[in-house]
Homo-oligomer: A and B are copies of this chain.
């Protein structure tokens, strides 16, 4: 890697799966507003002083496009989000050109069961959309990020166990992969790094991880840590390091937006809950009582609220409790992380890193790891890992 490349990472594409959703739209609005200096980059980890000189592509050099199955235009979606309080309406005029530009780079995506043809055909079309985007804009690389709605977990299939078996199946049948994994497959085929920001299965299949390995591509996931789990990752170590015995950790999440409606489906909620629970148990041990609820409350719109109750014992068994309430704006929590991940994954690729990018665990509820690595769920420890990894790249 030449010194020049460190200073100028070139233009980097950000290809959203779910490009008309609230997270992608907010990310496009934010990149434009921050790029123009209208607002400070609050919420963006990659703009902290720690990462000022580690060679990340500039926000102004990100180019946006993506797939979606809905048709609402980005400017319309942005208006709705401004009306819901995600960002000020007064910000819209200045970012309308950026919204229109991204809108023109959105292609129709793949819905489950939409075709009777072998799925390899759909995969090739998706990959071609991405390749064409990269070439049209002469981008140094494209990072594909899944920010679409959470899928229900599907059945395990034998074809998921090896890339060869998978490709045979894709050539023969129309419904081999769930959409999230089909997008991941297409991204890798198109030679792109991949980020799973949802708990859907996505790239987690053995066959897809083999593909990434063969193509020497980096990937990361899954399920962005934006609310309750973020707080849990900060608070869990308090109890662990002070030798306090957590008896139960219960939580209730109230969500209004699209994700809330999806998660009202108990099957989709199941994959979310598993990823929420894993971190706590890694920090505090496996015998923890307590449920975690996700309630869809449509009238809350973009606001989300989590309440957690922790019952613990101290010295000589003294019973104590802690509660917290987190009241956030869903897309405003997720969108900056998506920009961070695009920049950090692009930089990792420049540095020659391939496979699961464990240094990005800081961003995820359930970090994808190499099979032999152990998990670190403590937020501060994850941040230190992130910082050290990128600073090592500084010459």
Decide yes or no: A314 and B289 within 8 Å by CB, A234-B234, A336-B243 being known contacts.
no
A322 touches B86 (CB 8 A): no
Q: Is A85 among interface residues, defined by CB-CB distance under 8 A?
A: yes
Chain B residue numbers with a CB within 8 Å of A322 are 231, 324-327
Q: Is A309 among interface residues, defined by CB-CB distance under 8 A?
A: yes
Contact with B along A343-372 (1 / 0, CB 8 A): 000000000000000000010000000000
Decide yes or no: A315 and B30 within 8 Å by CB, A237-B234, A322-B327 being known contacts.
yes
Q: Which of A248, A315, A327, A328 has the most CB of B within 10 A?
A: A315
Chain B residue numbers with a CB within 8 Å of A284 are none
B42 touches A243 (CB 8 A): yes
Decide yes or no: A313 and B42 within 8 Å by CB, A252-B250, A297-B250, A380-B378 being known contacts.
yes
A interface, over-half SS: mixed
Contact with B along A74-91 (1 / 0, CB 8 A): 000000000001111111
Q: Which of A42, A242, A311 has the most CB of B within 10 A?
A: A242
A-side interface residues, number (CB < 8 Å): 79
B298 touches A237 (CB 8 A): no
Cα-based distance from A252 to B307 in the complex (angstroms): 9
Contact with B along A224-236 (1 / 0, CB 8 A): 0000001101110
- Which A residues have a C-beta under 8 Å from some C-beta of B? 26, 29-30, 33, 39-45, 47-48, 85-91, 230-231, 233-235, 237-238, 241-245, 247-248, 250, 252, 254, 289-291, 293, 295, 297-300, 303, 305, 307, 309, 311, 313-329, 332-333, 335-336, 362, 378-381, 383-384
13 contacts between A and B (CB under 8 A): A26-B316, A88-B317, A237-B383, A241-B362, A247-B297, A247-B300, A250-B297, A291-B293, A297-B311, A303-B319, A307-B309, A324-B325, A380-B381
